[in-house]
A and B are shown apart, each in its own frame.
Chain A
Amino acid sequence: MPATLNIDARTLAAIDDLSLVARTVVEGFLAGLHRSPFLGYSTEFSAYRAYTQGDNLRHVDWKVWGRSDELYVKQFEDDTNVRGQIFLDTSASMDFGAGDANKFNYGRVLAAVLAEVMVRQHDAPGLILFGETARQAVPAHASRHHAEEIFQLLANAQARGGTRVDQSLFHLLETMTRRGMAVVISDFFTTDEAARQLLRQLQGQNQEVVVFHVLAPEELDLPYEGESIFQDLESAELIPVHTDDFRREYQRRLAAFCEDLKRECIGLEIDYQQLRTDSPLDLALIEYLDRRAAV
């Protein structure tokens, strides 16, 4: 397990250039590790076996032949890259959280950092933004240039509208035929079962899914006093609430919601990680890398 790094998303969010942010985060993160977490490139040695006719002579270990007068061939693991699809919720409910702790900003930084990590280990990052509608923003491709494209798109993305999992999103999912990874960054505040359908669909598409449930401190603590009228960011609906009286009940209900989601994830063998937007990104990266190692 890597040592904990304090990668403060709020500080990074102040930097306009998302690629710079992502590189800074990843470099800082890697510098704190004792060994590289990257796996799967073709240089990875696996085992020796006796030479048989037809083997490529490039793979013969001549040092061993010199010592033992026997021909052995070095075997290497498969060097196939992993496609990593990043699903970022762009519904209006994500645009919540005061200042640096805004959920959408936090999600964007997290997506960028994950893309940078994927590019570094020669995986193919892709980005799918889903909200009112779903669109394949950037297809999965393993190149530096491609990552820059993702950063640019994330920088220009805006959170608005509701969360809906419609056919357009399912069409995109059907194209994910290769085994890969899917990272879902969302608050999962949908009025229907859309988000959960998305998770089930991803699981059905043979994807290793990691869920980052992003919540702002205001959502968790409800730090308001007295009576206020709350307006839903997605539906614009208004409701008067006396937070002093209702805080405890609200927190109970929110905890129950999170618990349901987590249980659902566990049922689908999906990794669930709740992220508080005023907390560092370390947890998210560690969670991702652990999962990546299993692919």
Chain B
Amino acid sequence: MISLFFTNTLMLAGLAALAIPILIHLLLKRRKKQVPFSTIRFFLQQDEQSSRRRKLRNWLLLALRLLIVSLLVLAFARPYSRQSEASGASRKQHRVVFLLDRSASMLAGGTEGQRWTLAKERMQKTLAGLEADDTAALIECADHANVISGFAPAATIAQVLRDLAPAYGTSSLSEGLQQAVRLLAGNLPNSASTIYLVTDLQKSACRSLSSCPIPQDIEFKVLSVGDLSSPNLALVKFELGAQDGTGPQITLASFSDENSLAFPVEMSADGRPFASQSLSLKAGASTNLSVALPPLTPGWHDLKASLETHDSLEVDNSQYACLLVPEPAHVLVAEPRGSARVFEQASFFLSSALDPTKGSTNSVSGSFHLTSVSPQEIAHELEKPKNEASWNVVILPGLMELPDGIGGSLKAFVQSGGGLILFLDEGMSANRYQSELADLLPVRFGNPDQAPDVSSPWRISLYDTNSLAFAPFRLPNSGDLRIPEFTKRYGLEAVEGAARLAFFDDGVPIVVTRSFGKGRVALVNTSADTGWTDWQKHKTFVPFIHGLTKYAAQKATMESHQENNSFVAGEVSDIDLGLQARLTQFVLKMPDAKEAQFTTDEKGRLKDPNMWLPGIYSLRDKAGHELRRFAVNLPVQESNLEALRPTDFIQQLVRVQESPKQTLAAGIFGSRNDQRQFWTALLLGALILLLVEPFVANRTSV
């Protein structure tokens, strides 16, 4: 029922002004005067219709003036209508928007049960309370706010809700609120709007709330689930070692206000535990834990760290990583003193550095697979078919006798992509080297050289850490290459196209490399054994040999395979597989063993692969060959379950008087649904009639 009220009732006395146009009308309606005229012959056929029209116009003018006065008086009295709620004769239609928090924290348990389950139950209950003509909409509040369902009957929303699961990512409630306000913009007349925020009010999700003003005519309710404070322990980070041989590191954190009891932390690789440790954390503390990786066969491996405890959120008790162990480089070393005792052999230090466990274990080999043969067998080994032997690098210590024909074999080997490392030694013939390996050598030999004084040997003073050979020494405190001493060497001159990677302190190069065909050749201007240097006795020798061998073998380091393999749930957008993978079909195997097919775009990107579930994902080609693995973990902020009180949350909201989108009707009649103002419309009407009045008056005279 609609009732009409006036804000300024006294102004209605102004209706007495209606007498003014009536008086004007009467005063101007003069008495007809009699006029003698020569003849009335031209008046006899006067159009009677004209007279009637004129009288009608007179009345119309009077009515117009009365209406103008009435409208002005009523406008100043400021009338408004109000819908009586008590009568209940016409119930307002409700438009309800549910804003559902789908972040991972909604999986947390509490005193009343799991938050997600509670949230769905409360929403279903609210939906059940809606009338048949009410409508509801559903907006998910995950990493981005999305409208899952526009306005629809409550039963439809209930059905959508039934199949909904958490999204494991973070949530921004402010973005969701913006969506909800936009959805409710253009409020329908005689309807009420309500936003239901269904959330655990986790503090990390309640940011930038002031950026989303909510009109006051929209009712706002919070269906809060979960407790204000929920003790939680979490694995928040899983980092693989930065360098080969370094074990992974995991970070644990306590989001509780109480010290934790001891809990076990377990690491597993490919499902097999390889490390376990018991830990306890103080309230709010965090700690790092480093473990050594077990020997892993070449190929992809899953790594999982998990802690066993009964806390509020179980899904953050695990962290995942994946690791590609590259195939070992096959190194062929020439050993001229094969019959001597091992430690007297020329390649002893090389073998020890590259493959220290050679022949002593059946465990997985390291990065290098080493084979020693006599110099005479080198050519034979290199000429073997690929299926019998596939060498990556050949290392020649300084050979007194360079076998005939070895140059051709080595040349063909390097040409096809192999690596050759040459050391020098006492008694070797520079001329012989020069003639046999002419095209391969990165230097031209000069004369053998000896340090003038034993007490002042040569030392390495300059080296190029940008090259892979010296990459292990890039970081500070990774070894001092100036310590090793060198007493003998060759005078060298680098050939054109060769690169000098390191120098003695007097400027003579110690490491010179060059490319030949598809392969690389490196010459080290010292002996492989301790004849000319004591480098082998220092800790920088092993990383140098490793780096140099990888350089020659053109093998990337293991960490280069780890990049872009780890993602945060909900933040995975596109995965770049490179141009070689463009417009190719792939199968992505999910942590829950489900598979999804994707096709890369023109740039080789896997668009929106929907990787929201924490765990390991495996990407395979159509033939089933595994190409990549990805680890997806929960966002760190979801582990902190500290929440706001609903009242505190509502206090942070900004409420505004009017809806953001002003409609013309709202501008004229006001934006309140229960109260409609009429003064603007009346004033507008009076102004329009005031404009019309002169036209009518000009055409009408009394």
Measuring CB to CB, which residues of chain A are less than 8 angstroms from any residue of chain B? 93-94, 96, 103, 187, 189, 191, 216, 218-219, 224-235, 237-242, 244-246, 249-250, 253-254, 257
Contact = CB atoms under 8 A, between A and B. Distances in A.
B33 to A, nearest CB: 5
Nearest to B33: A228
B43 A230 contact: yes
B38 A245 contact: no
A233 B36 contact: yes
Contacts of A228: 32-35
A250 B43 contact: yes
A89 to B, nearest CB: 11
A241 B39 CA distance: 13
Given A225-B701, A228-B33, A229-B33, A242 B39 contact: no
Interface in B25-56: 30, 32-44, 46-47, 50-51, 54
B54 A245 contact: yes
A253 B41 CA distance: 10
Given A231-B36, A238-B34, A254 B42 contact: yes
A239 B36 CA distance: 10
Contact of B38 (A226, A227, A233, A253): A233
A93 B51 CA distance: 27
B702 interface: yes
Contacts of B37: 96, 218-219, 230-233
Given A228-B32, A229-B34, A245-B50, A239 B42 contact: no
Given A225-B701, A226-B702, A244-B701, A96 B43 contact: no
A94 B701 CA distance: 31
A86 B504 CA distance: 151
Interface centre among B30, B35, B38, B43 (most CB of A within 10 A): B38
B39 A226 contact: no
Contacts, number: 80
Contact of B50 (A226, A231, A234, A242): A242
A91 B621 CA distance: 124
A249 to B, nearest CB: 7
Contacts of B40: 230-232, 235, 237, 239
A219 B38 contact: yes
Nearest to B34: A229
- In the complex, which range does the number of interface residues on chain B fall in? 20 to 34
Contacts of B54: 242, 245
A161 B51 CA distance: 32
Given A233-B38, A234-B39, A235-B40, 10 more contacts: A93-B38, A216-B38, A218-B37, A226-B32, A226-B702, A227-B32, A228-B34, A231-B40, A233-B39, A246-B47
A239 B46 contact: yes
Interface of B: 30, 32-44, 46-47, 50-51, 54, 701-702
B35 A96 contact: no
B38 A189 contact: yes
A226 B30 contact: yes
B701 A246 contact: no
Contacts of A233: 36-39
16 contacts: A94-B38, A96-B37, A103-B38, A224-B35, A226-B30, A226-B701, A228-B32, A230-B35, A230-B36, A232-B38, A233-B38, A233-B39, A239-B43, A242-B50, A245-B54, A257-B42
A94 B38 CA distance: 7
In this complex, which of A187, A219, A241, A250 has the most chain B Cβ atoms within 10 angstroms of its Cβ?
A241
Contacts of A244: 701
Nearest to B53: A245
B46 A96 contact: no
A220 to B, nearest CB: 11
B43 A241 contact: yes
B35 A229 contact: yes
Nearest to A96: B38
A228 B701 CA distance: 13
Contacts of B51: 242, 245
A189 B43 CA distance: 13
A159 to B, nearest CB: 10
A235 B47 CA distance: 22
B39 A189 contact: yes
A219 B37 CA distance: 8
Contact of B39 (A93, A225, A229): A93
Contacts of A234: 39
B275 to A, nearest CB: 112
Contacts of B701: 225-226, 244
B162 to A, nearest CB: 79
A72 to B, nearest CB: 61
Contacts of A249: 46-47
Nearest to A229: B34
Contacts of B47: 246, 249
Contact of B46 (A187, A216, A225, A246): A246
Nearest to B42: A253
Contacts of A239: 40, 43-44, 46
B668 to A, nearest CB: 40
Contacts of A238: 34
Nearest to A97: B38
A232 B30 CA distance: 22
A173 to B, nearest CB: 25
Contacts of B43: 230, 239, 241, 246, 250
- Which 6 residue pairs spanning A and B have beta carbons closest together? A96-B38, A189-B39, A93-B38, A232-B40, A253-B42, A230-B37
A241 B46 contact: yes
A242 B49 CA distance: 12
